[in-house]
Structure 1
């Protein structure tokens, strides 16, 4: 799932090399921390947070498909 978040985020931003995803694994849940260049932060969050919400929805669906739980944190 880390690769999924990484791929989705890289498709949204201009500075693809600055995208970083750290995974904190627990028993049946994971926290993914997404870091992007400050200039691209608005692209990842989107107007009114709609893009961030969509990213979280896709990640949650992928995690549930595997019987897990996942949370996406976008760090600034």
Structure 2
């Protein structure tokens, strides 16, 4: 569920939605989501002073409270 949420929001933010990729790495107590976008769109996903990235992480933590696992979002370039 979290993977689809991140992909949906990222695709809405970028100019090249086809290049959005979200990889999931499952751990015992946490899940890592690795977000990749086109090099030109990385700034749109991070935002000024990291505001959009922080908002994405806040949404993720709220969405993951049901599962009881901690979800970490990494934005890769």
- Give your verdict on TM over 0.5: yes
Q: Which residue of 2 aligns with 1:32?
A: 33
TM-score for the superposition, normalised by structure 1? 0.95
TM-score for the superposition, normalised by structure 2? 0.94
Give the paired residue count: 76
Q: Distance in 1 between matches of 2:62 and 2:22?
A: 18
Gap regions ≥5 residues in structure 1: none
Per-residue Cα deviation, 1:34-76 (whole angstroms, up to 9, x for no partner): 0000100000000000000000110111111322210000001
Gap regions ≥5 residues in structure 2: none
4+ runs deviating over 4 angstroms: none
1:1-76 aligned at under 5 Å gives the runs 1-76=2-77
Q: Distance in 2 between matches of 1:56 and 1:26?
A: 18
RMSD of aligned alpha carbons: 0.8
